[in-house]
């Protein structure tokens, strides 16, 4: 008894999980049954009733015609279900798209100098074009690096906002400590909000950083 109940439960779960397909199957079965009955009636009329023989033949032909149309409809429906399920089927390993991590932008670049984190390292010559040394409207620190063979050597740490004299008085040392290779000079910066920091605080921080790392182009009154 329990086995019979389990069987009915399985059938019910299959049917309830595929209601559209089950409904379509019932409709198709009813239509097929009607066509089949019509065909049997036509045969009976054509072969067993003299007065209805012609009408019986027409019923047979009409039944076969309807059956052919019905067969085409069922075929189209079945193929449609097949292709829909195929599109929804899980992807194979070879069909999985590449991992999205390669499309992510690179994480922000930071560099620790004397316990303080500076921003991204950029080519000095490119940053110079933006007038970073000419402006006196910003408060911040910057560091000059010499990049060779994948390593960065800190050769100078100074304060921004002093004007173009800042670079003019130190550039010769930067170039000398980087083997006179201007293309190897890089810069990184740290800008402070003017409302929260003043130049004296930034200058003190600069002195602390220089005392820790003692860069080769350090100037005492910097």
- Per-residue model confidence (pLDDT) at position 186: 93
CA-closest candidate to residue 114, choices 70, 68, 156: 156
The pLDDT score that the predictor gives to residue 54 is 72
Are 86 and 38 part of one and the same domain? yes
Q: What is the mean pLDDT of residues 28-47?
A: 74
Report the pLDDT value the prediction gives residue 19, as an integer from 0 to 100.
55
140 and 91 assigned to the same domain: no
**Are 118 and 205 contained in the same domain?**
yes
Q: What does the DSSP 8-state code read for residue 119?
A: -
| Candidate from 53-62, 150-159, 212-221 with smallest mean pLDDT | 53-62
d(CA 147, CA 111): 13
Contacts with 146 (C-beta within 8 Å, 6 or more apart), sequence order: 152, 153, 155, 174, 177, 178, 179, 181, 184, 185, 186
Residue where a domain terminates, one of 36, 60, 95: 95
pLDDT-derived band at 222, boundaries 50, 70, 90: very low
Q: In what order do the strands lie in the sheet with 122-123?
A: 122-123, 185-192, 139-148, 151-160
Mean pLDDT, residues 157-169 taken together: 76
Name the pTM for this structure. Answer: 0.50
21, 22, 25, 29 alpha-carbon torsion, rounded to 10°? -170
Domain range enclosing 17: 2-95
Q: Are residues 14 and 54 in the same domain?
A: yes
In a 3-state reduction of DSSP, which class is residue 108? Answer: coil
Q: Is the model's pLDDT at 70 over the cut of 90? A: no
**145 and 171: one domain?**
yes
pLDDT per position as a tens digit, 79-131: 776 666 666 555 444 444 454 444 555 566 788 999 999 988 888 888 888 87
**Is 47 within a domain?**
yes
**pLDDT at 1 exceeding the cut of 70:** no
Instruction: Give percent of the chain with pLDDT exceeding 70.
Output: 68
Q: Is residue 156 part of a domain?
A: yes
6, 50: one domain: yes
**Number of domains, the chain:** 2
* 17 pLDDT more than 90: no
pLDDT tier, 7 (very low <50, low <70, confident <90, very high otherwise): low
């Amino acid at each position: 008894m329990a086995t019979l109940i389990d069987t009915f439960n399985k059938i019910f779960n299959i049917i309830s999980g595929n209601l559209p397909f089950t409904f379509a199957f019932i409709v198709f079965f009813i239509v097929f049954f009607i066509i089949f009955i019509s065909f049997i009636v036509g045969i009976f009329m054509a072969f067993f009733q003299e007065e209805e023989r012609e009408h019986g033949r027409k019923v047979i032909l009409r039944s076969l015609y309807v059956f052919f149309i019905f067969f085409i409809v069922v075929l189209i429906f079945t193929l449609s279900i097949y292709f829909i399920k195929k599109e929804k089927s899980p992807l194979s390993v070879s069909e999985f798209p590449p991992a999205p991590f390669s499309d992510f932008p690179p994480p922000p670049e930071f560099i620790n100098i004397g316990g303080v984190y500076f921003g991204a390292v950029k080519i000095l010559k490119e940053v110079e074009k933006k007038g970073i040394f000419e402006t006196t409207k910003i408060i911040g620190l910057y560091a000059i690096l010499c990049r060779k063979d994948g390593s960065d050597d800190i050769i100078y740490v100074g304060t921004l906002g002093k004007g173009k004299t800042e670079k003019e008085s130190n550039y010769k040392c930067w170039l000398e400590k980087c083997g006179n290779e201007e293309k190897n000079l890089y810069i990184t910066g740290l800008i402070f909000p003017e409302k929260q920091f003043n130049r004296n605080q930034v200058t003190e921080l600069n002195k602390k950083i220089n005392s820790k790392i003692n860069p080769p182009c350090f100037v005492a009154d910097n």
